[in-house]
Structure 1
Amino acid sequence: MTSATGLIDRYQNYRVRRWLIQEQRTAGMLKGWRPQRRRRMLVIGVVTALLGIAVAGVLCALDLGAAPVVALIALVLFLPSWTMLRIASGGQDHAPDPMLDELEIAERNKARSAGLALTQSLTMPPLAYLIFVSAIAPHADAYRTAYAGGLMMLAALMAGGCAPAMILGWTRPDPEPES
């Protein structure tokens, strides 16, 4: 066994221990939000917040003063809805392989693949904005351009990063009733 393999195994064991501790900590939390219908409400909240952050970036690019207010409201909506979604969906999007069965691993991997594709496609418009505004209008306000592009890029990256949990939260059936 090479040292790299030993390091990877130790890290995987650490992830399993950390995930088990987190699962134990959150197991009894938000039971009313675990049914699919309620998880879908959380997904809608996360999507709305991410759209709000992207809109704030566009507002900033248009030099409208409401951009920071929209961004702040979106972030205030995002943080609790994202945290609640992760808890309500049982953390399946980031669970280590030994904690999932084969079907759950396949579902998680499909959701992660979709998240990567979403990240790649959503980062292109903000990237194009940053490149073309810098090339076409070098005299433009650099602070406003960077802030607008940064907000749009933040929304795109967060959407891709949140996509696996949102997909699993939306598609997974209701949990089995406890006996």
Structure 2
Amino acid sequence: MSERPDILTRYQAYRTRRFLENDAKTRHWLPNWRTQHRRRILVVAVLAADLTFVVVSISTLFFSWAAIVWIPAAVIFIPIWTALQTVSGRHSDAPTGALDEWEVQQRNEARSIGLTVTQGLVLVAAFALIFLSTTFPDLPRLAYAGGGWTLAALMIGISTPAIILAWITPDPEPEDIEYFDQQ
């Protein structure tokens, strides 16, 4: 009887294949933004958008109209986030089979930090909700604001691995650029 790979092995092979196909399509996009300096500009822009989410979510506790600011903040965040992911090669999302050992180690460390950031910020949001709901039980927008705080915490945590990897990854070697240009 032949040994068929289990479903997780097949799924990882599928993910690796899809990642490599998408990488082949996008590796030439935004070539001037692939330097470390330009990636850092995108990182600062993503951090500013993340901070905007925090400010907006806190503001919703006091002003009901502040919730509408989520829409333009998200509209600004999405293309900046997409550009950052594109120019950094989506290494924070890459399956293990698409990366070398050093890249896997870097990715895993960045993901670990991202998880810690997510847990810490969501914990702060939960404690704020607990404290405010017991101290000021009649705050009319507390539940909505708490949802915004949690969503902002998740957005920051989700973007943290890509931010770290985009910030620390050095510029590609010239021979790597030539290799990709020939492909």
Counterpart of 2:6 in 1: which secondary structure?
A: helix
Q: Scaled by the length of structure 1, what TM-score is found?
A: 0.90
CA offsets 1:131-156 (integer angstroms, 9 cap, x no match): 22222222221xx1122111111111
Query: Post-superposition shift, 1:64?
Result: 2.3
Structure 2 Cα separation of the partners of residues 125 and 114 of structure 1: 16
Contact preservation (8 Å) 1:123, 1:153: yes
Give 1:76 shift: 2.1
- Please say if residues 13 and 97 of structure 2, whose CA atoms lie closer than 8 Å, have aligned partners that are also in contact: no
User: In the alignment, what sits opposite 2:170?
Assistant: 173
**Which whole-Å CA distance do the structure 2 matches of 1:24 and 1:145 have between them?**
46
Q: 138, 155, 178: which one pairs with 2:152? A: 155
Equivalence for 1:59: 59
Structure 2 matches for 1:110-125, cutoff 5 A? Answer: 110-125=109-124
Q: Which runs of 5+ in 2 are unaligned?
A: 179-183
The CA RMSD measured in Å over matched residues stands at 1.8
Match 1:146 to one of 143, 146, 153: 143
Q: Identify the residue that residue 98 of structure 1 maps to in structure 2.
A: 97
* Residue 31 in structure 1 maps to residue 28 in structure 2: no
Q: Which amino acid aligns with 1:153?
A: T
CA drift at 1:120: 1.2
- Alignment correspondent of 2:75: 76
What amino acid maps onto 1:107 in structure 2?
Q
Q: Secondary structure at the match of 1:93?
A: coil
Deviations 1:80-133 (A, max 9, x none): 110000000001111111111111111111101110111111112211122222
Counterpart of 2:166, as a letter, is G
| TM-score, normalised by the number of residues in structure 2 | 0.88
Q: Where in structure 1 are there 5+ consecutive unaligned residues?
A: none
- The verdict on how the C-alpha distance between 1:58 and 1:172 changes in structure 2, with shifts beyond 3 A counting, is same
Amino acid aligned to 1:174: D
